Amino acid sequence: MNLPPVAIAWFGAMILFGVGLYGLLVVRNLIKLVVALQILAKAAMLAFVAAGYAQQQMGLAQSMIALIIVADTVVAVIALALAVQVRRRYGTLDVRQLTALRG
């Protein structure tokens, strides 16, 4: 089997996306949820690498990825800070029990 590098990166991105999505849907711990979100973002980055390589526009892809890294870090920091606050206020990190928005 002799796959082109783009296809390998693309499959990698798909697998990462699947793992992240699965985590997002089933994980109950808020901190693990943040980890799942991070994996999703990594999938997006890898997809950008693959797309940039395929289109011969690595410069654009790299600048996009740099942007995602920054945004992603901010998301992680704020999400973890929120998780700390949630733990302090509700005494739990189980998202199934955090249903204050139920209609």
Partner 1 sequence: MAALLIALAIALPWAGALAVWVAGDRRPRAQHGLAVFFAAAGGLCGLGLLGVPSSETVIRVPVGGVFGDFTFVPDGLGIFLAAIATVIGSMAVLFSVEYMKGEAQLGRYYAFVLLFIGAMAGLVLTSSLLLLFFFWEITALTSYALISFHNDDPKAVAGGIKALVITQLGGIGLLVGALVAYVNLGSYDIGLFLARSHSLPPQVLTVIAFGFLVAAAAKSAQVPFHTWLPDAMEAPTPVSALIHAATMVNAGVYVLARFSPAFEQVAGWSTAVALVGMVTALLAACMAVVTDDLKRVLAYSTVSQLGYMVFAIGAGSALAGSFHLLSHAVFKALLFLGAGAVIHAIGTRDMRQMGGLGRQMPWVSSMFLVGACALAGIPPMNGFWSKELVLETALGHGAWWGFVALLVGAGLTALYTARMVWSVFFGAPRAHHHAHDAGPAMRIPLVLLAFGTLTTWLLFGPFAHMLAEVLPGVHDESTLAFAVHVMTDPATWLAMGIVAGGLLLWHIRARLAALVGRLSLAAQVAAEGFGFETVNRFVTQAVRSTATALQRTQTGDLSWNAVGIVGALILVLILLAWGGIP
Residues forming the site for partner 1 (CB under 8 A): 21, 24-26, 33, 95-96, 98-103
Contact 48, 68 (CB under 8 A): yes
DSSP 51-68: HHHHTT-HHHHHHHHHHH
Looking at beta carbons only, is 22 or 63 nearer to partner 1? 22
Looking at beta carbons only, is 33 or 65 nearer to partner 1? 33
Quick one: tokens of 88? 């302090």
Least Å distance, CB 73 to partner 1, is 21
Least Å distance, CB 30 to partner 1, is 8
Q: How many CB atoms lie within 10 A of CB 71?
A: 11
